[in-house]
Copies of this chain bind each other. A is one copy, B any other.
């Protein structure tokens, strides 16, 4: 087993309105960021996983996202990174 740092990115589905993101977008406009056209807010979950290999680490993280971390009605998730951080033991 080795230790993996896995990143899960969770975003609202494209068809779901994001009023908090819109509010941030309005503030950016008021601050002079007139080249920023759209803002959407999502979530990141950093997991430290003990696994045999990258494939297993990604599978565990995806299962955790599917069963708990993400809301399947509103959100989509992706495992965006899996980096080995600890040696085998």
Q: Which A residues have a C-beta under 8 Å from some C-beta of B?
A: 1, 3, 9-11, 21, 24, 27-28, 31, 33, 35-51, 60-61, 63-64, 67-69
Number of copies: 2
Minimum CB–CB distance for A2 against chain B, Å: 11
Q: A67 and B31 in contact (CB under 8 A), knowing A9-B44, A41-B43?
A: yes
Query: Given A24-B45, A42-B43, 20 more contacts at CB 8 Å?
Result: A1-B35, A9-B44, A24-B68, A27-B68, A28-B68, A31-B68, A33-B60, A33-B64, A35-B49, A35-B60, A36-B60, A36-B61, A37-B48, A37-B49, A38-B48, A39-B45, A41-B44, A41-B45, A41-B46, A42-B44
